[in-house]
Amino acid sequence: MGKFKHAIAVAVLTLVTAAGLYFLFDWMFALPDPASAQAGPIDTMFQSHFAMMAILFAFIMVMMLYSVAVFRRRPDDTEDGPHVHGHTGLEIAWTVIPTLVVIGFGVYGTVVLGEITREQDNEMTVSVVGAQWSWSFEYPAEDIRSNRLVLPVNQPVLLELESRDVLHSFWVPEFRVKQDLVPGTVKTLRITPTQLGSYRLACAEICGEGHAGMLADVEVVSQADFEQFLVDSAFRYSDLTPEERGQQFYTELGCAGCHTVDGASGVGPSWNGIYLREEQLTDGTTVVVDDDYIRHSIIAPNDQIVAGFNPNIMPQDYEERINNLEAEILDSEGAELDIIADLIAFMQTLDQ
């Protein structure tokens, strides 16, 4: 067989293998159906990377295995192989082509990044706060807070992401884009949801014991349903009963990230049947969970630690956060609330 025929054989085998690998990668690394305007360019870029990797891997493997098989030594062949002293043309080619490919993908990546982060007209801003281990959302224009992320379809959204403690990462696989939350700074992310539906936000950065449960519901709804969501969410704290307020604070202040209300085990003791129960502490004493103990447990969590929960990881800054929220409510509603009293009222409703 002449050189030309070997070249044709390698080319055909490379193409067939590359096509097979491309479909294999596409299937192996499949993500859920895309649901945002940003997903399109990202998926195209992924696919072009898959194609490039498939071609390169196929070419190297086919060349190697083809040489091993076709140019192997025959049993009666005792001659030396030809002595080769390099090939300038080939060396230039295998330096220049990969360099151009890498630079090309670099430029392509930069263009796509620019495209998916570009500021758009009529963006709606939503603030996202991640904390160990819960998410909360605020619609500043409407002064509404929520523990679900509800977005109107086809509306460009600017997310302003903040972390209260450690690194977290905002990731809804259907939207493709992902952004870390870095304590002390505000990170941004742009999403234009394009498909109605329910999705799930997951934290994509290991952030401690409750990381796997750091989830939130995301709903993409019609403009009319979004307006309704705003109306439904626009409550006044002072119009609620203390129990209802307590439940609201339980999710809003992130207690739900660590304390269950149904007796299931969590990062902290369940609140099911908590009120007036006897609690064993790490220092060997027992206490009755009354108002004073609860208040103290929230303001100075390290003082009395429940047995089995050492080292204690309940956040230390609740006194400040609760004071700030009380001041905010006094400011906006003119009502002086005692958040901890409301939380206790809520706990009292949780007897098995």
Which residues lie near Cu ion (CB under 5 A)? 168, 203, 207, 214
How far are the Cα atoms of 15, 17, 48, 171 from residue 60, in angstroms, in the given order? Answer: 12, 11, 18, 35
How is residue 112 written in tokens?
Answer: 């796509």
220 vs 198: CA distance, rounded Å: 6
How is residue 197 written in tokens?
Answer: 């539906």
Asked if 315 touches ligand HEC (CB under 6 A), the answer is yes
Residue 224 CB, shortest distance to ligand HEC, in Å, is 35
Residue 163 CB, shortest distance to Cu ion, in Å, is 8
138 binds, among ligand HEC, Cu ion, none (CB under 5 to 8 A by kind): none
Selected from 127, 260, 312, 348, the binder of ligand HEC by CB under 6 A is: 312
Asked if 190 touches ligand HEC (CB under 6 A), the answer is no
313 vs 262: CA distance, rounded Å: 21
Residue 111 CB, shortest distance to ligand HEC, in Å, is 41
Nearer to Cu ion, 207 or 218 (CB): 207
Q: Rounded to 5 degrees, what are φ and ψ at 142?
A: -100, -5
DSSP designation for 74:
P
How is residue 50 written in tokens?
Answer: 């898959």
342: Cβ contacts below 8 Å, ≥ 6 apart? 242, 243, 245, 246, 249
Asked if 273 touches ligand HEC (CB under 6 A), the answer is no
301: Cβ contacts below 8 Å, ≥ 6 apart? 312, 314, 315, 316, 318
Segment interacting with ligand HEC, rule: CB under 6 A, options 97-105, 213-221, 225-233, 308-316: 308-316
How is residue 169 written in tokens?
Answer: 């990462």
Contact, 187 vs 230, CB < 8 A?
A: no
Question: In terms of Cα–Cα distance, which of 312, 307, 246 is closest to 281?
Answer: 307
Nearer to Cu ion, 149 or 207 (CB): 207
Q: Rounded to 5 degrees, what are φ and ψ at 232?
A: -65, -30
221 binds, among Cu ion, ligand HEC, none (CB under 5 to 8 A by kind): none
Selected from 177, 267, 299, 341, the binder of ligand HEC by CB under 6 A is: 267
11 vs 22: CA distance, rounded Å: 16
- Binding marks (x or -) toward ligand HEC, 126..145, rule CB under 6 A? ------x-------------
Residue 59 CB, shortest distance to ligand HEC, in Å, is 51
DSSP designation for 269:
-
Question: In terms of Cα–Cα distance, which of 30, 168, 47 is closest to 159?
Answer: 168
Selected from 214, 258, 261, 345, the binder of ligand HEC by CB under 6 A is: 258
242 binds, among Cu ion, ligand HEC, none (CB under 5 to 8 A by kind): none
Asked if 325 touches ligand HEC (CB under 6 A), the answer is no
Nearer to ligand HEC, 155 or 272 (CB): 272
255 binds, among Cu ion, ligand HEC, none (CB under 5 to 8 A by kind): ligand HEC
258 binds, among Cu ion, ligand HEC, none (CB under 5 to 8 A by kind): ligand HEC
Nearer to Cu ion, 49 or 164 (CB): 164
Residues at the site binding ligand HEC, with contacts judged by CB under 6 A: 132, 253-255, 257-259, 267-269, 274, 279, 289, 294, 297-298, 301, 305-306, 309, 312-315, 318, 343
